[in-house]
Amino acid sequence: MGFLQNNRFRALLASDNVTGYLFIGPFVLGFLAFTLIPVLASIYFSFSRYDLLSPPVFDGLRNFIAMFSDENFWKSLTVTLHYAFVSVPLRLVFALFVAMLFNRKSKLVGCYRTIYYLPSIIGGSIAVSVMWRRLFMADGAVNSALALIGIKSDTSWIGNPKTAIWTLIILAAWQFGSSMLIFLAGLKQIPGSLYEAAEIDGANAFQKFFKITIPHLTPVIFFNLVMQLINGFTVFTQAFVISGGSGDPMNSTLVYALYLYRKAFEFYDMGYGCAMAWVLVLILAVFTALIFKSSSLWVYYETKED
């Protein structure tokens, strides 16, 4: 009897189903522990009064209603919209420009691609944010570089409310590596015969770019636009480090995610923070839906034409 049970147990372990469950088990546990359960909990907390130290108390829509009269909420939303709507186009333009340069045949292209991709890997790190903060201080490298060309400046770019947000935008534009690689992959898919035919017809570089390159890249632009817009609305690390976690000067760098963090973990209003998180999800869903809805007007799919 025991021998039969051992054989059945071994046969069970050797079956493909058990092997599959063992492989997906860690993922399922991780998904439940770090995604599904926290998401469900945040939905409940957003309708509750919860200070992290005592049990949450259901409070209906109080957190959502409080946002309408919260000046900092509207300020953070305005700063984030400004940041996203300026940094995302800048990043995509830089990425496309560099991708077109790297699409040319050269022995060192692989080396150049690696060098230009590095900022995307380390750009969101604490070390780079600290370096960026030092660059734009009154005694930083930016003012030193300006002095070399005869422009004397003692401005602290991160201490001036009018320029502080631009230090974040420039940092975001510098991190174009991932978008650049995707653009480069898209450029590789454009048939060279189209450019040859255009040259025979007498088309110049400007016409080839807008009549061939851009139309064939619209699916890639569409993908990059959605992904970078989401990244723009959820920026946190750079703003936290460069502003010292306060969003100063005068809340000019108080992006949405930073204010959410401060409400949840500095002011211990986790319910309000969770409500802000779900409002952000709603905002991103609206913008993403608008981009998807408009894609039929400007995104070119070759298979659709067939």
Digit-coded pLDDT (tens) for 91-140:
999 899 988 888 877 666 667 767 766 666 665 577 888 888 888 888 88
- Quote the pLDDT of residue 77: 95
**Among 278, 256, 259, 234, which Cα is nearest to 48's?**
278
pLDDT for 179 beyond 80: yes
> Residue 64 pLDDT more than 60?
yes
- DSSP letters spanning the chain: -HHHHHHHHHHHHHSHHHHHHHHHHHHHHHHIIIIIHHHHHHHHHHTEE--SSS--EE-TTHHHHHHHT-HHHHHHHHHHHHHHHHHHHHHHHHHHHHHHHHTS--TTHHHHHHHHHHHHHHTTSHHHHHHHHHHTSTTSHHHHHHHHTT------TTTSTTTHHHHHHHHHHH--HHHHHHHHHHHHTS-HHHHHHHHHTT--HHHHIIIIIHHHHHHHHHHHHHHHHHHHHT--HHHHHHTTTTT-STTTT--HHHHHHIIIIIS--HHHHHHHHHHHHHHHHHHHHHHHHHHHHH---HHHH-
Q: What is the pLDDT of residue 178?
A: 82
What is the pLDDT at residue 304? 58
For residues 256-281, give the mean pLDDT.
94
pLDDT at res. 20: 83
Evaluate if residue 9 carries a pLDDT over 80: no
Q: How confident is the model at residue 5, as a pLDDT? A: 65
195 pLDDT above the threshold of 70: yes
The answer, yes or no, to whether residue 1 has pLDDT greater than 60, is no
Q: What is the pTM of this model?
A: 0.85
Mean pLDDT of the chain: 87
Query: pLDDT grade, residue 74 (50/70/90)?
Result: very high
pLDDT tens digits, one per residue of 141-174: 888 888 888 888 888 888 888 899 999 999 888 8
Average pLDDT over residues 48-53: 89
Give yes or no for residue 245 having a pLDDT over 80: yes
Instruction: Tell me what pLDDT residue 300 has.
Output: 83
Torsion, Cα 202 204 210 215, to 10 degrees, reads: 50
pLDDT of residue 174: 83
Nearest to 96 by CA among 186, 166, 169: 186
